[in-house]
C-alpha cells in the first residue's frame, strides 16, 4: 500500500507542520519505513514552547470553567488502563488529578501487590513461590451494568500480554480475581454485557466478552508451527461472578476490540486480519475486512445442547462460529459484516441502534444497524453487508469512537491528529443518497496522533455529552521534556456546544489505552475495612505473639498508631515465617506500612485490614521492621525488631 491508496476526504485541513506529521505517520503506516516514519514524527522540529504549545487555540489558555478549585471534588471519575505498566489508574475529571493506581498484573511495593500472600493468591502465585508472570499489559476497562448503565459493582480489565482478565471491586477499588483464558494469545478487546436476558435472579452483568487478536495453533504445544492456515482465533465469554470461563467461539479471522449491545442479544468485534496474514503486508492485502457479530442466545443454546468441542486439556466448551458454519443465517452463531480495510474500534450508540466501526486504513467509519444484524440472523436480510446503513468519509486513520446524547459521534483520527465530530443520522441519510446531508460537523486538532477517545458516560444509555478525552499516542512538545520517554497526553475536550473546545492537556504516565468516564454519584466506596472480613485477622493485642510449629513460625502482629503490638520478636535462622499484620486503627485514611530490610518485604495495611507475608528467615541478625506509611507524629518511631538467631 502506498500513501495514494488512502483516500483523502475533501474537508482535509492543510497546515504546514501538521501535514508533516501526517505524512510522517503515513509513511510509517505504509510499511515503507515504519521506523523512519515514527522517528520523523517524534523529532523536535521546533523550539520548546514558551507559553502555549503551538497549535493551541487561544481560547484554550486559562479556561477557568473547567478548573476544579482547591477543596472541590471532580464531577467524574475516569478509569483508565495503564498499558504496559500492567495497572489501572483513576483520575478525576475535569481536573485530571491522579487519584489512585490500582496494581493488577504488576508488582507494587506500596500496597504490597505481588508481595503479600493475599495478593499472591489472586495472582495465582503460591506462598513463597515464584509468580507465573510478573508482567502485564492492560488495555480496556469496563464496568458492570444494570439496565444499560453502570451499577458500580465491578470493573474488568484485560491483560493483552498473557491473556488474563482481572476483576476489580468498585467498593475498595482493588483487584480481587484474575482468570487466564485458555488457548488464546493477544487478548485485546473486552466488554461487559449491558443486559443479561437469561440470567434471572442476578440483576447485573454476568458476561464479560473477550476477543483474542493473535491467531495461534489451536493447541499450541509445538504442533502446526509453520502452517499459518492452521492458526485460529477464539472469542471468549467469562462469568463475572465466578470469574470462570463460560464458552468460546471458534472464528475465522481475528478479534480486536469488542462491543456489546444494550439488549443483551449481540456482541461484536472488529476484524482487521480477515486475511489471516502472518505478516503486516498480508494483513493489509484485502480491501474489505469485517465486523463480526455473535448471537449470544444461540451460542448458549448450542453449549447447552452439547454441540461443542474441547481443545486439548481445556474444559471450556467451544462452539463453531467459522464462516463455513455460519452459511445458514437461521442457525448461524456468527455474522460477518464486511467493513473497509483493517478496521479498529467498534462502539455502540447510547440508544443501542447502531455500531460505529472505523476503517483505520480507510478514511471511513461504517455504521451498522443493530436491528438489521438481527434480521440477518432471522433470515430476513440477504447479505450481511446490507446491515450497513452509513459509511461517511471522516478523515485519515479513524480509530475509536465516543458518542454524546445528541446523536453525534466523535472519532479519533490517528493520521490527521484530529477528533472528528460527525452526525450519525446525517451519515445514514447521505448513504441513502441525500446530497444535502453533511455527516461531518466539526474537527478539532489534538496533539498528537490520538488513539483512544471516549465521552463522559458515553458507553451507557446515560451518555451526557459533556466531555470527550483524547488519549494521544505522542505528546512531542506539549510538556516539559523529561528525557527520551515523553509524558503521554490525555486532552480534555468540552463537547457540550456545537464546536468542540480543547480545555486541558493532562499529562499521564505511559501508556493509557482505553478509559471510561463515570459520574461520581455511581461510585460508592468504603473508607475502612471490617476486621471480621479477614479470617486470619489478629483480633486482640493479647493474641499477638510468636507461635511455633516445628520450623513453621507464625508471627501475629497488630498496628495501632504509633506502635506495633510487639516491640520485638525472635525467630531462628531457617524458620519459615508467616507474619500476619492487622491494622486496628479505625480512622479513615490511617494506613500503616510494614517493611523488612534485606528480606524484600513491603506492604501496607489500611484501617481494619489484615495482610500476611511468608518468607524464610535465612539471614541471622537484627532487622528493624518499620512503618513505611506516614501515619502519626511518631511515625518514624513506629518500629519493631525482628531478631533472627543464628
CA distances from 260 to 61, 183, 189 (A): 38, 23, 11
Nearer to ligand CUA, 266 or 631 (CB): 631
Q: Is position 89 an interface residue for ligand CUA (rule: CB under 6 A)?
A: no
Q: Is position 298 an interface residue for ligand RUQ (rule: CB under 6 A)?
A: no
**Contact in structure between 195 and 148 (CB atoms under 8 Å):** yes
CB of 553 to ligand RUQ, least distance (A): 46
Stretch that binds ligand CUA, among 28-36, 160-168, 467-475, 630-638 (CB under 6 A): 630-638
Long-range Cβ contacts of 213-217 (<8 Å, 24+ apart): 213/160, 213/185, 213/186, 213/187, 213/188, 213/189, 213/254, 213/255, 213/256, 214/185, 214/186, 214/254, 215/185, 215/254, 215/273, 215/276, 216/183, 216/184, 216/185
Identify any residues that bridge with 418 across adjacent strands, giving them in sequence order.
413, 445
Q: Is position 139 an interface residue for ligand RUQ (rule: CB under 6 A)?
A: yes
Stretch that binds ligand CUA, among 161-169, 419-427, 449-457, 632-640 (CB under 6 A): 632-640
Q: Which does 627 bind (CB under 5 to 8 A by kind): ligand CUA, ligand RUQ, Ca ion, none?
A: ligand CUA
Nearer to Ca ion, 363 or 465 (CB): 363
Q: Is position 635 an interface residue for ligand CUA (rule: CB under 6 A)?
A: yes
Q: Which does 188 bind (CB under 5 to 8 A by kind): ligand CUA, ligand RUQ, Ca ion, none?
A: ligand RUQ
Using CB under 6 A, pick the residue from 399, 426, 469, 627 that binds ligand RUQ: 399
User: Would you state the cell numbers that stand for residue 211, as one nine-digit string?
Assistant: 476477543
CB of 100 to ligand CUA, least distance (A): 20
Identify any residues that bridge with 644 across adjacent strands, giving them in sequence order.
571, 621
CB of 593 to ligand CUA, least distance (A): 6
Q: Which does 400 bind (CB under 5 to 8 A by kind): Ca ion, ligand RUQ, ligand CUA, none?
A: ligand RUQ
Q: Which of 246, 140, 227, 122 is nearest to 187 (CA)?
A: 140
Q: How many CB atoms lie within 10 A of CB 640?
A: 21
∠ CA 619-624-628, nearest 5°, is: 120
Using CB under 6 A, pick the residue from 255, 627, 642, 644 that binds ligand CUA: 627
Q: Which residues bind Ca ion (CB under 5 A)?
A: 272, 283, 289, 342
592-611 footprint of ligand CUA as x/- string (CB under 6 A): x-------------------
Q: Which of 199, 197, 195, 100 is nearest to 151 (CA)?
A: 195
Q: Is position 188 an interface residue for ligand RUQ (rule: CB under 6 A)?
A: yes
Classify strands 164-169 and 174-180 as parallel, antiparallel or unpaired.
antiparallel
Size of residue set near ligand CUA by CB under 6 A: 9
Q: Which of 291, 337, 414, 347 is nearest to 6 (CA)?
A: 414
For residues 461-520, which are near ligand RUQ according to CB under 6 A?
Answer: 513-514
How far apart, in whole angstroms, are the C-alpha atoms of residue 14 and residue 151?
45
Using CB under 6 A, pick the residue from 561, 572, 615, 639 that binds ligand CUA: 561
Q: Which does 342 bind (CB under 5 to 8 A by kind): ligand CUA, Ca ion, ligand RUQ, none?
A: Ca ion
Q: Is position 451 an interface residue for ligand RUQ (rule: CB under 6 A)?
A: yes
User: Would you state the cell numbers that stand for residue 365, as one nine-digit string?
Assistant: 467509519
CB of 643 to ligand CUA, least distance (A): 21
Where do runs of H (alpha helix) occur along 65-223?
117-123
**Contact in structure between 564 and 558 (CB atoms under 8 Å):** yes
How far apart, in whole angstroms, are the C-alpha atoms of residue 575 and residue 567?
20
CB of 213 to ligand RUQ, least distance (A): 9
Q: Which does 289 bind (CB under 5 to 8 A by kind): Ca ion, ligand RUQ, ligand CUA, none?
A: Ca ion
User: Would you state the cell numbers that stand for residue 239, as one nine-digit string?
Assistant: 462469568
Residue numbers of the site for ligand RUQ (CB under 6 A)?
139-140, 188, 344, 399-400, 451-452, 513-514
State the residues that interact with ligand CUA by CB under 6 A: 561, 592, 627, 629-632, 635, 638
Amino acid at each position: 500500500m502506498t500513501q495514494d491508496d488512502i483516500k483523502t476526504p475533501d474537508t482535509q485541513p492543510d497546515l504546514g507542520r501538521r501535514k508533516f506529521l501526517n505524512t510522517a505517520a503515513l509513511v510509517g503506516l505504509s510499511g515503507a519505513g515504519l521506523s523512519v516514519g515514527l522517528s520523523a514524527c517524534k523529532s523536535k522540529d521546533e523550539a520548546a514552547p514558551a507559553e502555549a504549545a503551538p497549535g493551541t487555540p487561544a481560547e484554550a489558555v486559562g479556561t477557568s470553567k473547567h478548573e476544579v478549585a482547591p477543596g472541590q471534588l471532580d464531577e467524574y471519575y475516569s478509569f483508565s488502563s495503564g498499558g504496559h505498566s500492567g495497572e489501572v489508574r483513576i483520575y478525576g475529571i475535569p481536573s485530571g488529578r491522579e487519584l489512585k493506581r490500582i496494581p493488577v498484573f504488576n508488582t507494587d511495593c506500596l500496597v504490597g501487590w505481588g508481595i503479600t500472600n493475599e495478593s499472591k493468591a489472586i495472582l495465582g502465585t503460591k506462598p513463597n513461590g515464584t509468580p507465573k508472570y510478573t508482567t502485564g499489559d492492560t488495555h480496556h476497562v469496563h464496568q458492570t451494568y444494570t439496565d444499560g448503565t453502570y451499577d458500580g459493582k465491578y470493573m474488568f480489565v484485560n491483560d493483552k500480554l498473557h491473556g488474563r482478565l482481572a476483576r476489580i471491586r468498585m467498593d475498595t477499588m482493588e483487584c480481587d480475581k484474575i482468570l487466564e483464558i485458555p488457548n488464546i494469545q493477544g487478548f485485546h478487546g473486552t466488554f461487559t454485557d449491558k443486559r443479561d436476558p437469561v440470567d434471572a435472579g442476578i440483576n447485573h452483568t454476568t458476561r464479560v466478552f473477550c476477543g483474542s487478536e493473535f491467531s495461534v495453533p489451536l493447541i499450541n504445544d509445538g504442533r502446526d508451527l509453520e502452517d499459518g492456515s492452521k492458526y485460529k482465533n477464539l472469542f471468549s465469554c467469562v462469568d463475572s461472578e465466578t470469574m470462570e470461563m463460560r464458552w468460546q467461539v471458534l472464528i475465522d479471522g481475528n478479534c480486536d476490540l469488542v462491543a456489546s449491545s444494550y439488549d443483551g442479544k449481540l456482541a461484536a468485534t472488529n476484524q482487521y486480519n480477515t486475511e489471516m496474514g502472518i505478516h503486516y503486508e498480508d494483513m493489509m492485502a484485502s480491501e474489505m475486512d469485517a465486523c463480526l457479530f455473535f448471537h449470544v442466545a444461540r451460542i448458549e443454546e448450542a453449549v447447552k445442547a452439547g454441540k461443542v468441542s474441547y481443545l486439548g486439556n481445556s474444559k471450556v466448551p467451544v462452539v463453531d462460529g467459522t464462516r463455513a458454519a455460519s452459511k445458514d443465517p437461521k442457525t448461524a452463531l456468527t455474522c460477518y459484516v464486511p467493513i473497509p480495510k483493517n478496521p479498529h474500534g467498534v462502539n455502540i450508540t447510547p440508544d443501542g441502534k447502531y455500531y460505529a466501526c472505523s476503517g483505520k486504513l480507510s478514511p471511513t467509519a461504517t455504521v451498522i444497524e443493530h436491528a438489521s444484524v438481527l434480521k440477518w440472523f432471522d433470515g430476513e436480510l440477504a447479505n450481511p453487508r446490507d446491515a450497513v446503513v452509513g459509511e461517511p468519509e471522516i478523515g485519515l486513520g479513524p480509530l475509536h469512537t465516543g458518542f454524546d446524547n445528541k446523536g453525534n459521534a466523535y472519532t479519533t483520527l490517528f493520521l490527521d491528529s484530529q477528533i472528528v465530530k460527525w452526525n450519525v443520522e446525517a451519515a445514514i441519510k447521505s448513504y441513502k443518497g441525500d446530497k444535502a446531508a453533511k455527516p461531518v460537523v466539526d474537527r478539532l486538532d489534538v496533539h498528537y496522533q490520538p488513539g483512544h477517545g471516549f465521552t463522559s458516560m458515553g458507553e451507557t444509555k446515560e451518555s451526557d455529552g459533556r466531555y470527550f478525552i483524547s488519549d494521544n499516542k505522542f505528546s512531542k512538545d506539549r510538556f516539559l521534556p523529561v528525557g527520551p520517554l515523553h509524558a503521554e497526553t490525555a486532552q480534555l475536550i468540552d463537547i457540550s456546544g456545537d464546536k468542540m473546545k480543547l480545555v486541558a492537556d493532562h499529562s499521564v504516565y505511559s501508556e493509557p489505552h482505553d478509559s471510561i468516564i463515570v459520574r461520581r454519584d455511581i461510585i460508592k466506596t468504603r473508607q475502612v475495612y471490617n476486621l471480621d472480613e479477614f479470617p486470619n485477622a489478629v483480633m486482640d493485642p493479647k493474641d499477638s505473639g510468636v507461635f511455633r510449629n516445628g520450623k513453621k513460625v507464625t508471627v501475629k502482629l497488630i498496628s495501632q498508631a504509633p506502635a506495633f503490638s510487639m516491640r520485638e520478636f525472635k525467630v531462628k535462622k531457617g524458620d519459615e515465617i508467616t507474619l500476619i499484620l492487622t491494622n486496628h486503627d479505625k480512622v479513615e485514611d490511617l494506613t500503616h506500612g510494614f517493611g523488612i530490610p534485606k528480606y524484600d518485604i513491603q506492604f501496607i495495611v489500611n484501617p481494619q485490614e489484615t495482610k500476611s507475608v511468608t518468607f524464610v528467615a535465612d539471614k541471622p541478625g537484627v532487622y528493624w521492621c518499620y512503618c513505611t506509611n506516614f501515619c502519626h507524629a511518631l511515625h518514624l518511631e513506629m518500629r519493631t525488631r525482628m531478631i533472627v538467631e543464628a
